Amino acid sequence: MVSAGDFRNGITIEMDNQVYQIIEFQHVKPGKGAAFVRTKLKNIKNGGVVEKTFRPTEKYPSAHIERSDMQYLYSDGDLFHFMNVDNYEQIAMAGEAIGDSLKFVKENEMVKMLSHNGQVFTIEPPLFVELVINETEPGFKGDTAQGATKPAIVETGATVYVPLFVEQGDKISIDTRSGDYIKRV
């Protein structure tokens, strides 16, 4: 059990038969009245964000989130196939459950599957990936006064905005959380 007075960012709790992760919290001590904790909670199953206030003495059970390393094998229509590298067990997931999590992930790369009570609810790609640019327009010399960017399509089919000096066939590093170009490799 976690009391509201002990809330920290990243803690997961069970409340109203749902699992929430604390995104932000703030302990408030007004001049009059009792103290309270103002939070912003993210429902980890559907991704919705709610704001809620708690009394510091309220207690909620902490939710245990399991993170397991899986290898992304391939996609077959609307199904995505993963394999546990320890016991070679394979899992197939529907495309709507995955969303955009795999837009920067190539086949045979490692990802983290997050589950609660045996039910997988999301996939975390690696924080940084290196991909080859398949398509981009050529950059023009002297057109870099304000750090201009251009769209580029990488080998997974995703679009990334890159500086003008990056060309087709270059290998780049991408931050998967934001989709931002980091550097040329």
Residues 88-112 have a mean pLDDT of 85
Helix (H) or strand (E) holding 70: strand 66-76
Q: What is the pLDDT of residue 142?
A: 62
Same domain, 19 and 34: yes
Q: Which two tokens stand for residue 129?
A: 């990936």
* Residues 20 and 55 both lie in one domain: yes
> In total, how many domains does the chain have?
3
Percent of the chain's residues with pLDDT above 70: 96
Share of the chain above pLDDT 90, in %: 16
Its pTM stands at 0.69
In 10 A of CB 139, how many CB atoms? 17
Q: What is the DSSP string of 27-89?
A: EE--SSS--EEEEEEEETTT--EEEEEE-TT-EEPBPPPEEEEEEEEEEETTEEEEE-TTT--
* Residues 7 and 49 occupy one common structural domain: yes
CA atoms of 70 and 68, how far apart (whole Å): 6
For the chain, the average pLDDT equals 86
Cα separation, 159 vs 161, whole angstroms: 7
Give the mean model confidence (pLDDT) for residues 74-89.
Answer: 88
Of 146 and 104, which is predicted with more confidence? 104
Q: What is the CATH number of the domain that holds 15?
A: 2.30.30.30
What is d(CA 117, CA 71) in angstroms, rounded to the nearest whole number? Answer: 21
Q: Percent helix, strand and coil across the chain, each rounded to 5?
A: 5, 55, 45
Span 76-93, average pLDDT: 88
Q: Does 116 lie in the same domain as 72?
A: yes
Q: Tell whether 132 and 162 lie within a shared domain.
A: yes
Among the residue ranges 39-43, 69-73, 121-125, the one predicted with the least confidence is 121-125
Average pLDDT over residues 61-77: 88
Looking at the structure, tell me whether residues 7 and 51 fall in a common domain: yes
Q: Which sign, positive or negative, has the C-alpha torsion 92, 71, 45, 4? A: positive
Model pLDDT, residue 39: 92
* Residue 13: C-alpha distances to residues 4, 8, 27, 45, 66 (Å): 10, 11, 18, 13, 14
Residue 157 and residue 3: Cα distance in Å, rounded?
Answer: 45
Q: What's 175's domain CATH number?
A: 2.40.50.140
Helix (H, G, I), strand (E, B) or coil at 16: coil
Q: Is pLDDT above 70 for 161?
A: yes
Are 142 and 178 members of one domain?
A: yes
DSSP conformation class of 6: G
Q: Name the residue range of residue 108's domain.
A: 66-124
The per-residue pLDDT for range 18-32, each reduced to its tens digit, is 888 888 899 989 888
Q: What is the mean pLDDT of residues 73-101?
A: 85
Q: Which domain-ending residue is among 84, 102, 124?
A: 124
Residue 138 · residue 152 · CB < 8 Å: no
Query: How far is it, in rounded angstroms, from Cα 84 to Cα 122?
Result: 16
Q: 142 and 106 in one domain?
A: no
What does the pLDDT read at residue 12?
Answer: 86
Please report which confidence band the pLDDT of residue 141 belongs to, taking 50, 70 and 90 as the band edges.
low
User: For the chain, first and last CA: distance in Å?
Assistant: 47
Does 53 lie in the same domain as 74? no
